A and B are shown apart, each in its own frame.
Chain A
Amino acid sequence: METTTETTLSARGLVKRYGDRVALRGVSLSAGRGELVAVIGPNGAGKTTLLSILAGIQRPDEGTVEVAQDRVGWVPQQPALYSKLTVRENLTLFARLERCSDPRETVERMLDLTDLGGRADDQVGVLSGGNRQRVNIAIGLLADPEVLLLDEPSSALDPRQRERLWEFILRLAGEGTTVAYATHHIQEADRYANRLIVLADGERVFSGSPDELESATGTTGLDFEHAFVEFLRQQGH
């Protein structure tokens, strides 16, 4: 996982309010080419809100995002697919909407990449949760994005599928794609991320490597999940 200093994703002072509730409180982050950034935190911390603002789905009330939206791939937490269409038809539809130069070739490439060639003509409604998530991710990759945003990408996958998903994401990062992902699987953050962004109550309470988080809590050598919980406790969350 080689990263460069070239910044491909940058956000400063993001604030988002839903009525009286403040979902994000001045959150900033940046990520370089090929970097893997994990956004972690307790439920309701603002992880999905942060990613959806970075993806351009929501507008922040304050703050700025610096990234070309047409170069961002977005993989939402719930698969955004048409269950009455086949895998191939879903991919073809979004490839055409993304204005891919050769939609057919792009679709075949994605089917190979996600190992879904054998299910290409099955309607998405009959696929398992894991396979749906693979199609969901494939759609996020159709336009060869420079930045890939994934919201809980492995939540519906079994361990074997999860392993394959991460092999795939690491390969993308290795090829220079910046990947930011929100996850509840703390071990996935520890194992795959170059950098962690820890959110709690809409506030960024930590930004650094997993080792730095362990050092900050004095739990080096212990289970990373334990370190994370301890960190939140020390921060009063």
Chain B
Amino acid sequence: MRWLLVKDLRILQRSPLLVALLVLYPVVIAVLIGFALSRGPDKPEVAFYNGLSEGATVELGGEKIDLTEQGSRLFDEIDPVRVDSREEAIQKVREGDVLGALIIPDDLASNLQSTLKPGTVEVFYNAEDPAKKQFVENTIEAQVQQANAALTKRIAVEALDLLDLISDGGSYSFLGRDFDVLGLRRAERILTEAGKELPPGSAQREKLKRVIDFAQLARENLAFSDDVLGVVGEPIRVNAKALEGGSTSLNAFAVALAAAVSLMFITLLLAAGLLAVEREENAFARLVRGLVSHTALLAEKAGLAALCSTAVCLLMLAGLGLFVDLDWGRLPLWLVAVVAGALAFAALGLAIGALTREVRAASLLAFMLALPLAFLALVPSGAVAPTLFDVIRAVSAAFPFKPTLDALDAALNDAGGLAGPLVHLAVLALVFGALSRLGLRRFA
């Protein structure tokens, strides 16, 4: 087997273009998929016209709310390109310089102040494709909603302060003058003392008592206003709990995904190609005429493919580690996950190689199988009908991509157990190994 290994390495060494493509292509695909998943256009450029004067405020209950400060919340998720007019903003969208335009009109502050009609902002964008349209709508609408929610909360706080003033009294500033507000509590106390001076059973005392009761009732009910206004400010709170899956961040998951994709491509193509080349060169029959057993031949191909892909995958992880935080203390676990995935993919690659007569056919079949497997494994539950999802899950479980991704996610990101995916991969390696052994019967 040693001499076969040396022979295969020598053949790979003499095919530098093939090897370069074999390594570079999956790494590029993996990194692209990783980026696509972890980053949209992270901070898309949006033309921004602010028609408000510098330091524009809205006064609510004597409190001034800085609209510029509130508006800056819109920029958390976008990269604003400031323009001088509404027309310039629209022009930039038309010319494709920016993803969209956000216009804050001159009358926003006065509309908000009047409380007769809501403040309105304008959004312009090109909807040249549905994906972009949805992205812009989602991004800007989400940001406007956040700003709305922030304003609502702020207004609720001001309203609460006013209600406290009505309930408990205190000082209040308006148009530069200070006022002393009596408040229901002090009014109730004054009235109670005044009532004591009236003769018991007198009609005036009875009337005064009704006013005192009202003041007390009003004050007690105002005490609930904190909770009520709290609910108005934030009607729905989200308390999310993940029932399945780990707490892996999208970036960390993208690393595991990139590693799984590159491992899959390299191993599948190498294993399938190395086996198919024996047939293409007519050497298979000569080899298995007592020189090498079928099983030893398969083991050599699987071992070489797994070795090469493991090395490339670990190098890729090391490279990604320069940009993303990876827990190097878990390196032994990475190695276990990568080797297990590589062996399972190698067994699948051998089965593909045993089915085909030529290297090109083997490579094509490996490609055709690999991409759908990767996409199927990423279909989330709820994205398709339940029955279809069950089918997708069963198909994904029958091939090594999903368990490899789970194993790598567990090893890299401590997301879930590693043992389950490893056992799954071992079973798949045995099944595909047996299938490739059967496939060799028609190989000569």
Binding site for B on A (CB under 8 A): 52, 55-58, 69-70, 74, 76, 78-85, 89, 93-94, 96-98, 123, 139
Contact = CB atoms under 8 A, between A and B. Distances in A.
Given A74-B286, A79-B282, 14 more contacts: A56-B289, A57-B285, A57-B289, A57-B444, A78-B282, A80-B283, A80-B285, A89-B7, A97-B3, A97-B4, A97-B287, A97-B292, A98-B291, A123-B14
B177 interface: no
Nearest to A72: B289
Contacts of A98: 291
Chain A binding site: helix, strand, loop or mixed by DSSP? loop
Contacts of A94: 286, 291
A15 B433 CA distance: 31
Contacts of B14: 84, 123
B381 to A, nearest CB: 46
Contact of A52 (B3, B285, B287, B290): B285
B28 interface: no
Interface in B1-50: 3-4, 6-7, 10-11, 14-15
B10 A84 contact: yes
Nearest to B11: A84
Contacts of B288: 57
A69 B290 contact: yes
Given A80-B281, A83-B281, A84-B15, A139 B286 contact: yes
Nearest to B288: A57
Contacts, number: 58
Contacts of A79: 282
A215 to B, nearest CB: 38
Contacts of A93: 3-4, 6-7
B343 to A, nearest CB: 25
B290 A56 contact: yes
B353 to A, nearest CB: 16
A123 B14 CA distance: 10
A9 B346 CA distance: 41
Contacts of B6: 93
Contacts of B11: 82, 84-85
Given A57-B444, A89-B10, A70 B290 contact: yes
Contacts of B285: 52, 57, 74, 76, 80
Contacts of A76: 282, 285-286
A74 B289 contact: yes
B2 to A, nearest CB: 9
13 contacts: A69-B289, A76-B285, A76-B286, A80-B281, A80-B282, A80-B285, A80-B286, A81-B283, A82-B11, A82-B281, A85-B7, A93-B6, A96-B3
Interface string B205-231: 000000000000000000000000000
A79 B286 CA distance: 10
A123 B283 CA distance: 16
B10 A58 contact: no
Nearest to B277: A82
A98 B289 CA distance: 10
A156 to B, nearest CB: 13
Contacts of A56: 289-290
Contacts of B3: 93, 96-97
A55 B287 CA distance: 12
Q: Which 8 A-B pairs have the closest CB atoms?
A: A80-B282, A97-B291, A80-B286, A78-B282, A84-B11, A84-B14, A96-B3, A80-B283
A82 B283 contact: yes
Nearest to B2: A96
Contacts of A80: 281-283, 285-286
